[in-house]
């Protein structure tokens, strides 16, 4: 949790949590948090982010109603680590009836997403500026998510850094409880060894099933939109691996 940051308006104690369960491990976010924001941009971000926080609600129905969506037909979609928001913006623009929540710790990325949303007049997207593991535990109601996206999570290639990876059994425990039955979990990476790690971790977890053939990565999904990170990987000669899984019934 980024305690020293004024942006942290989300509740952080389990007592505030609509979900009620305690984190079984202590998360620590590694990597860049601020980026190249001028003091003026930082001030603007501090003022704008609170308006974009989703309401706290105990159930999926109440959350979607508070977001002015039809709980019987709208999807609730969450992207973990949206970066500069390219993928999230495209999805939100293409699916105005759905509601999107983006979670990110990198402030320059948050600013980039807000600018995109404003430029394109997109109003179905909210932002939570915090560690995705805490957000899932504290802000997201149980069995509420139709789709969770994790695109190009930091690969932490050195073996001694593997514990920093976001895809871990404990993260999958959280996702299994926040996804609806048969809710989608899609992941993409240009790092083959991390792709295999993700597939093994999902397989061993037991709550998810692979929608591609067993022991296979998925072809590029129809919903796919290219991002800067994808291009970086492709230019470096790396292949993109897609994982399309869902929570079992």
Ligand X SMILES: C[S@@+](CC[C@H](N)C(=O)[O-])C[C@H]1O[C@@H](n2cnc3c(N)ncnc32)[C@H](O)[C@@H]1O
Catalytic residues: 154
Q: Which of 161, 172, 239 is nearest to 203 (CA)?
A: 172
The answer to whether residue 151 forms part of the interface with ligand X (CB under 6 A) is yes
Q: Classify residue 218 by its DSSP letter.
A: B
CB of 152 to ligand X, least distance (A): 4
User: Are the C-beta atoms of 136 and 175 separated by less than 8 Å?
Assistant: yes
Q: Choose between 82 and 245: whose C-beta lies nearer to ligand X.
A: 82
The answer to whether residue 106 forms part of the interface with ligand X (CB under 6 A) is yes
The answer to whether residue 5 forms part of the interface with ligand X (CB under 6 A) is no
Could you tell me which residues are beta bridge partners of residue 243?
187
The answer to whether residue 190 forms part of the interface with ligand X (CB under 6 A) is no
The answer to whether residue 131 forms part of the interface with ligand X (CB under 6 A) is yes
The answer to whether residue 154 forms part of the interface with ligand X (CB under 6 A) is yes
Q: Choose between 162 and 209: whose C-beta lies nearer to ligand X.
A: 162
The answer to whether residue 233 forms part of the interface with ligand X (CB under 6 A) is no
The answer to whether residue 227 forms part of the interface with ligand X (CB under 6 A) is yes
φ and ψ of 5, to 5 deg: -110, 125
Q: Which of 74, 78, 148, 166 binds ligand X (CB under 6 A)?
A: 166
The answer to whether residue 198 forms part of the interface with ligand X (CB under 6 A) is no
Cα dihedral 57, 2, 45, 123 in deg (nearest 10): -30
What are the angstrom distances between the C-alpha of 203 and each of 15, 34, 38, 243? 33, 35, 44, 12
Q: Choose between 124 and 151: whose C-beta lies nearer to ligand X.
A: 151
Q: Choose between 63 and 150: whose C-beta lies nearer to ligand X.
A: 150
Integer Cα distance of 215 and 198 in angstroms: 12
Q: Which of 178, 92, 98 is nearest to 133 (CA)?
A: 178
User: Are the C-beta atoms of 221 and 186 separated by less than 8 Å?
Assistant: yes
Q: Which of 54, 83, 141, 233 binds ligand X (CB under 6 A)?
A: 83
φ and ψ of 19, to 5 deg: -100, -30
The answer to whether residue 82 forms part of the interface with ligand X (CB under 6 A) is yes
Q: Stretches 34-42, 59-67, 102-110, 111-119: which one binds ligand X (CB under 6 A)?
A: 102-110
Tokens of 227: 């991002």
User: Are the C-beta atoms of 174 and 207 separated by less than 8 Å?
Assistant: no
- In the block, residue with structure tokens 């979990």: 185
CB of 214 to ligand X, least distance (A): 26
Q: Choose between 17 and 151: whose C-beta lies nearer to ligand X.
A: 151
Can you tell me whether residue 18 is helix, strand or coil?
Answer: coil
The answer to whether residue 147 forms part of the interface with ligand X (CB under 6 A) is no
The answer to whether residue 100 forms part of the interface with ligand X (CB under 6 A) is no
Provide the binding-site residues for ligand X, judged by CB under 6 A: 29, 31, 80-83, 87, 103-106, 109, 131-133, 151-154, 166, 227-229
């Amino acid at each position: 949790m980024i305690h020293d940051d004024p942006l942290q308006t989300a509740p952080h104690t389990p007592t505030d949590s609509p979900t009620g369960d305690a984190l079984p491990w202590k998360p620590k976010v590694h990597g860049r948090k601020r980026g190249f924001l001028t003091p003026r941009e930082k001030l603007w971000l501090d003022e704008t982010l609170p308006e974009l926080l989703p309401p706290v609600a105990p159930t999926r129905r109440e959350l979607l109603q508070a977001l002015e969506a039809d709980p019987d037909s709208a999807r609730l979609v969450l992207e973990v680590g949206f970066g500069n928001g390219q993928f999230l913006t495209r999805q939100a623009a293409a699916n105005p009836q759905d509601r999107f929540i983006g979670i990110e710790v990198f402030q320059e990325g948050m600013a980039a997403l807000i600018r995109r949303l404003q430029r394109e007049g997109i109003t179905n997207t909210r932002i939570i500026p915090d560690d995705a593991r805490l957000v899932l535990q504290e802000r997201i109601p149980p069995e509420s998510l139709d789709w969770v996206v994790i695109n190009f999570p930091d690969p932490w290639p050195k073996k001694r850094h593997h514990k920093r990876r976001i895809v871990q059994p404990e993260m999958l425990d959280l996702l299994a409880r926040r996804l609806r039955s048969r809710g989608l979990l899609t992941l993409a990476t240009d790092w083959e060894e991390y792709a295999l790690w993700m597939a093994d971790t999902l397989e061993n977890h037991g709550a998810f099933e692979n929608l591609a053939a067993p022991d296979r990565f998925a072809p590029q999904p129809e919903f796919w939109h290219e991002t800067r990170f994808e291009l970086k990987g492709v230019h470096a000669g790396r292949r993109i691996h897609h994982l399309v899984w869902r929570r079992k019934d």
